[in-house]
Chains A and B, each alone.
Chain A
Amino acid sequence: MTYFVLVCLVMGLVTYFTRALPFLFFSVRKPPELLDFLQKYLPAVVMAILVFSMYKDIDFRAAPYGIPALVAGAITALLHLWKRNVLLSIGAGTAAYIIFIRII
């Protein structure tokens, strides 16, 4: 039991460290110009990577060839470009996915 708790605490501390690092470095100093440039564009990069990561384990060579996830993703993106309503985009995309994986 002590081992379990210790594992959790160690992992919690390390995770907190990774999240706190930029704040430790740059709460007083201003970040260098390069980092200031990076932080502006990193959210876009990270979101693109996260989307990619959600699709990377799908087997596109075997049925259903990733079609449910691709079509549901397209529905989500198009709806969001069109209506700009977060809940509608995600709700419709997820509902489409749930239906697709049951019928395809």
Chain B
Amino acid sequence: MRGKKSSQSGRSSILRASFKAAFKASIPVLLGYITLGIAFGLTLVAAGLAWWLAPFMALAIYAGAAQFMAVGLIQSGAGLLEIALLTLIMNARHMVYGLSLLEPFSKAGRWKPYLIFGLTDETYGLLTTIEPPPDLDKTKFYAAITVLNQVYWFVGCMVGSLVGSAFLFNTTGLDFALTALFIVLLVDQVRAVKKPEPYLAALLGCVLALFISPKNFLLVALVISTGALALLRERIEGRPRGTASQGVSEKSKQDSEEKGDRP
């Protein structure tokens, strides 16, 4: 059907299709990032910093919580080493995000460095949960999501800092879109991972983190939960063989069909 079209236009139509699918998947992030970005821009200007810092941070740092922290640090004139350390602590949770994306990113070629750069909480959530449309190239779909998310954040930061406090409109509540996004992604995870242990581990980590260090809540919760998850490994994976009391016929059928495909 498209035999006569040049590969160029074929490629650009694939790109367009990727962006279309990615846009649909990322609309919740659009709502959340624009709102939060505007809030950030307003905060930054209100703190007396130059407006261009907000869009500049959206380009160079691209991490919501760390950017809010930066405003306070710059105001207090903190040293670079101190800033580096605090950023490391605040974003340490990102150190495990890539683990779930090693395989897909290994095929991402020249996009890989950027995909890593754009791995925010929300992007991680989308990439690990949403299945790319089967007719699209995974890398292009991932790249489109990552680019769009950063564009949303950039635009939000830019608008917020430019508008300053001159033109305030009431967006209170719109930021719930991010909470709703995390809930939806969690529901999808629950559908995929039908085992209670990961969620119990998360709950344990959260509750303990509230007591241990509410300031570093995400990091502490993640460390404890990951530890608990590792301890629960045997329970989660079950004993390797011989314990299958259910679904035997299905299992053996599968085994004979895709012998040696998976460990």
- Residues in chain A within 8 A of chain B (CB atoms): 1, 3-12, 14-23, 26-27, 31, 34-35, 37-56, 69, 72-73, 76-77, 80-81, 86-87, 89-90, 93-94, 97-98, 101-102
- Besides A22-B98, A23-B105, A34-B230, 17 new A-B residue pairs in contact (Cβ under 8 A), listed by A number: A4-B53, A7-B80, A12-B60, A15-B91, A19-B98, A38-B229, A44-B193, A45-B199, A45-B205, A47-B189, A49-B206, A50-B182, A80-B187, A89-B180, A89-B184, A98-B174, A98-B176
Contacts of A42 in B (CB 8 A): 96-97, 99-100, 226, 229
Query: Residue of A at shortest CB range from B88?
Result: A14
Q: State whether A39 touches B99 (Cβ < 8 A).
A: yes
Q: State whether B174 touches A90 (Cβ < 8 A).
A: no
> Which residues of chain B in 116-142 are interfacial with respect to chain A, using CB atoms and an 8 Å cutoff?
116-117, 119, 121, 124-125, 128-129
At the interface, yes or no: B12 with Cβ under 8 Å from chain A? no
> Which residues of chain B in 129-181 are interfacial with respect to chain A, using CB atoms and an 8 Å cutoff?
129, 172-174, 176-181
The CA of A79 and the CA of B253, in the complex, are separated in Å by 35
Size of B's binding interface in residues, CB under 8 A: 88
Q: State whether B184 touches A76 (Cβ < 8 A).
A: yes
Which of A8, A44, A94, A97 interacts with B189 by CB under 8 Å? Answer: A44
Q: State whether A90 touches B83 (Cβ < 8 A).
A: no
A-B pairs with beta carbons under 8 Å apart, 20 shown: A7-B83, A10-B83, A10-B84, A14-B87, A16-B117, A17-B88, A18-B91, A21-B98, A22-B97, A38-B229, A41-B236, A42-B96, A46-B125, A48-B203, A49-B225, A50-B125, A50-B186, A77-B183, A90-B27, A98-B174
Contacts of A87 in B (CB 8 A): 24, 27-28
- Residues in chain B within 8 A of chain A (CB atoms): 24-25, 27-28, 31, 49-50, 53, 56-57, 60-63, 66-67, 70, 73-74, 80, 83-84, 87-88, 91-100, 102, 105-106, 112, 116-117, 119, 121, 124-125, 128-129, 172-174, 176-190, 192-193, 195, 197-199, 201-203, 205-206, 210, 214, 217-218, 221-222, 225-226, 229-230, 233, 236-237
The CA of A93 and the CA of B121, in the complex, are separated in Å by 20
Most buried by A among B117, B182, B183: B183
Which of B49, B70, B97, B182 interacts with A19 by CB under 8 Å? Answer: B97
Which of B62, B84, B178, B190 interacts with A54 by CB under 8 Å? Answer: B178
Q: State whether B198 touches A45 (Cβ < 8 A).
A: yes
A2 CB, min distance to chain B CBs, angstroms: 11
Which of B97, B125, B180, B205 interacts with A94 by CB under 8 Å? Answer: B180
